[in-house]
Amino acid sequence: MLAKESRPGPPAHLLRCSCGVIVETEEDPMTAMNVVHMRVKAGREDEFLAVHRTFQASAVPGSRNFWVVKSGERDYIVVGEWGEMADLVQARPQMIANLDKLRPLLEDLGGGRGVTEPWSGEVVLHQRPEMNVESAL
């Protein structure tokens, strides 16, 4: 059985079952995402990942999740999930500071794109399979 927490805890759109698992409800607010394509110079992948490991996404207000996805031999996509677009906008100086550490490790993508190809916006549709909370344990 799911019940809303009465003490400070997860945001209102999250529910906690008696087993301690937190699940999102249909009231889940839309979020914002940023997606950045990068190509790492040959032999610099370990340094690239080390810079990302030191970036404390959890310390950035409004940050929900942060992923680094390997999409090719030396191609990566960095994905950030934010509570709302204003959080993403407010975090840009921190993200740019992190990018400045990465620039020496990145190849130009060509076509006038520079070393990154960034995209961001509000999530307009989010689907996930239905899940029985107890079976997820």
On whether both 4 and 65 belong to a single domain, the answer is no
Domain assignment present for 17: yes
On whether both 80 and 54 belong to a single domain, the answer is yes
Spatial CA neighbour of 86 closest among 117, 56, 65, 61: 61
pLDDT in tens, 42-79: 999 999 999 999 988 888 999 999 999 999 999 999 99
CATH number at residue 43: 3.30.70.100
Q: What is the mean pLDDT of residues 101-113?
A: 96
Domain assignment present for 135: no
Mean pLDDT of the chain: 82
On whether both 85 and 98 belong to a single domain, the answer is yes
Identify the bridge partners of residue 8 per DSSP, sorted by sequence position.
none
Q: How far is CA 88 from the centre of its chain?
A: 10
pTM: 0.72
How would residue 81 be classed by pLDDT, with cut points 50, 70 and 90? Answer: very high
Domains in the chain, number: 2
On whether both 5 and 66 belong to a single domain, the answer is no
Q: What is the pLDDT of residue 41?
A: 98
Separation of alpha carbons 76 and 9, rounded Å: 34
The domain in which residue 22 lies consists of 1-28
